[in-house]
Copies of this chain bind each other. A is one copy, B any other.
Amino acid sequence: MTAKKRAPSKAKPRRRVATTRPVGRRAQNKQAIRQRIVTAALKLFQTKGFDSTTTKAIARKAGIAEGTVFNYFRTKEDIALYFFEQEVDQAIAAVRDNPRLRKAPLEEKLFTLVHSQLEFLAPYERFIGAAFIQALKPASPLGAFSHRAQELRHRYVGFVQELLEESLPNHRHTPVSWLAPQTFWIYYLGTLLYWLHDTSPGKQNTLAFLDRSLSLGVSMLQPGKR
């Protein structure tokens, strides 16, 4: 049970001891270990691919026991999911924190969103191709549609929803506008697939595709405008 905090009538033992930090050693250590796991795993995923990277190898590289990995992540795929959370959060922040986009047209915001995601993923292309996309398999718990990743998808879809409502103030919750954010997630996955296969310099084909398809899509949502 939770211990009741009782007024320490005693003199405060400010005795933090010379070597003790104000932040508990434990909490501090946890953060560090989590980071070590993610860093080690990512490095291994990049070089050996997802399947060929063993949890034992991750633990070894992180300097911890194998079992410890599972004190932090429920499954090996959750480690990868953690990486994609950063990807999504980073892209959302990139759009939110860009003052120039405040009053930019919707398609520009969406372009920036997806573009940020792709930029983030670029250094890990091999890992993505080998593990994440190959990952869209039928029995995967981390999958793009999986329950495990649902929360991440919700965060993403919720943000897209915000952007839409912000740009289409007079939208009347039409079926289309309601479906649009969900659809956008699928659209993003398709784009990722395209991007992975895009061998044009600087992935310019993907960027062109993004530009065109977003204009088209947004114009469908704003039949009056233009």
**A189 CB-CB contact with B under 8 Å:** yes
Binds B, one of A89-97, A113-121, A132-140: A132-140
Q: Give the residue of B132, B190, B212 whose beta carbon is less than 8 angstroms from that of A139.
A: B132
Q: Which chain B residue has the least Cβ–Cβ distance from A143?
A: B137
A69 CB within 8 Å of chain B: no
Partner-binding segment picked from A21-29, A54-62, A144-152: A144-152
Please, which residue of chain B has its CB at the minimum distance from the CB of A136? Answer: B143
Q: Which residues of B contact A81 (CB under 8 A)?
A: 138
Q: Does A107 contact B (CB under 8 A)?
A: no
- Do B134 and A143 touch (CB < 8 A)? yes
Chain B, residue nearest A175 (CB): B212
Instruction: From known contacts A134-B147, A146-B134, A209-B179, infer whether A77 and B139 are also in contact, taking CB-CB under 8 Å.
Output: yes
A155-163, A165-173, A180-188 - the one binding chain B:
A180-188
Q: Give residues 172-217 of A contacting B (CB, 8 Å).
A: 175-176, 179, 182-183, 186-187, 189-190, 193-194, 209, 212-213, 216
Chain B residues, CB < 8 A from A144 = 136-138
From B143, B187, B194, B213, A140 is in contact (CB under 8 Å) with B143
The reply to whether B186 and A50 contact each other, CB–CB distance below 8 Å, is no
Chain B contacts for A140, CB-based, 8 A = 134-140, 143
Q: Which residues of B contact A138 (CB under 8 A)?
A: 50, 77, 80-81, 84, 131-133, 135-136, 140, 142-144
Within 8 Å by CB of A136, from B137, B176, B187, lies: B137
Please report the C-alpha to C-alpha distance between residue A138 and residue B213 in the assembled complex, in whole angstroms: 25
A212 proximity list for chain B (CB < 8 A): 175
**B139–A135 CB distance below 8 A:** yes
A-B contact list, 6 entries, CB within 8 Å: A131-B139, A136-B136, A137-B137, A137-B142, A175-B209, A183-B190
A residues near B (Cβ < 8 Å) are 50-51, 76-77, 80-81, 84, 131-149, 175-176, 179, 182-183, 186-187, 189-190, 193-194, 209, 212-213, 216, 220
